[in-house]
Amino acid sequence: MSKLATIRTSTGTRAVKLDGDQHIDLGFSDLREYFAAGSPAPAADAPTYPVAGADFAPVTQPSKVVCVGHNYANHIKEMGRELPEYPVLFPKFAETLLGANDDIVYPVETEALDWEVEICVVIGKEVRRATDEQAAEAIAGFTVMNDISVRDWQFRTIEWTQGKIWEATTPVGPYVVTPDEVGGVKPALEVKTVVNGEVMQNDNTGTLVFDPVFLVKYISTMITLKPGDIIAGGTPAGVGQARDPKVFLKVGDKVVTSIEGLGECVNTIVEG
């Protein structure tokens, strides 16, 4: 049973494990290195850091982030689309990621900045062409992502990537929570987005069209998933793009994306 994080310290980033009001140093600079080393127990004399005031870095520096679109039935309906037969996939890159409490600098190129709360699968073991059992074993845990989307760029073409890869716009964290703490590898957890105190999204991961095990199995068919890689599981209904009239983030807004048992990302939109 573990809650794991990567925090910023005066000597660089460190992979840590939550233990009461302290973080225990796991002996690695981030969780990607920790998972790749086989997730060893911390040393008996490992340094500790106070939880209070912790500066969370992105939970991992992944070799890849694979995002899933249209994975909640309600969101698919609000966007006017049919339920997909197969997962809708697009990439992100490590440069897009922020810590759970970092500010989000408003991109000057957009007038349509949107929120998307997502549960993320974090890979703990290398896996390719996984069986169901292998896919489940490869899941180190789950974390929270706010897949901030630049909608006016996203919909310039039928392919979404250009609206999803804006540098330093995607908070992820604060913790990677192991499956045993949240009901297993197919958890049913409340997901929520709150903007300036108003609830914008509220759903449950139990309604995912494609569950975490299926996603690991499916994606690993195409490409090797490595320790620290992230699969973002899609967002529920309530995005600003689908509202009438549309509602988008602006400078000064506070956006909180949370998932039951995993924690929350709390971010302020600031001027660049």
Task: Give residue-wise pLDDT tens across range 89-146.
Answer: 999 999 999 999 999 999 999 999 999 999 999 999 999 999 999 999 999 999 999 9
**The token pair that represents 149 in the structure block:** 């989307």
The closest of 168, 160, 155 to 106, measured between CA atoms, is 168
- CA angle, 182 then 222 then 28, to 5°: 50
Q: What architecture does CATH give domain 3-56?
A: Roll (2.30)
Report the alpha-carbon distance of residue 242 to residue 239 in Å, rounded: 6
pLDDT of 1: 64
Confidence category of residue 74, pLDDT binned at 50, 70, 90 = confident
Which residues of the chain form CATH 2.30.30?
Answer: 3-56
Are the C-beta atoms of 6 and 59 separated by less than 8 Å? yes
pLDDT of 84: 85
One of 2.60.210.10, 3.40.50.620, 3.90.850.10, 3.40.109.10 is the CATH number of 65-270, namely: 3.90.850.10
Average pLDDT, whole number, for the chain? 96
Residue 244 carries which DSSP code? S
The residue count of the chain comes to: 272
Average pLDDT over residues 21-42: 97
Average pLDDT over residues 230-238: 96
pLDDT at 175 over 70: yes
Report the alpha-carbon distance of residue 48 to residue 138 in Å, rounded: 28
Task: Give residue-wise pLDDT tens across range 180-219.
Answer: 999 999 999 999 999 999 999 999 999 999 999 999 999 9
Which residues of the chain form CATH 3.90.850.10?
Answer: 65-270
pLDDT of 70: 86
Measured from the Cβ of residue 269, the count of other Cβ atoms closer than 10 Å reads: 20
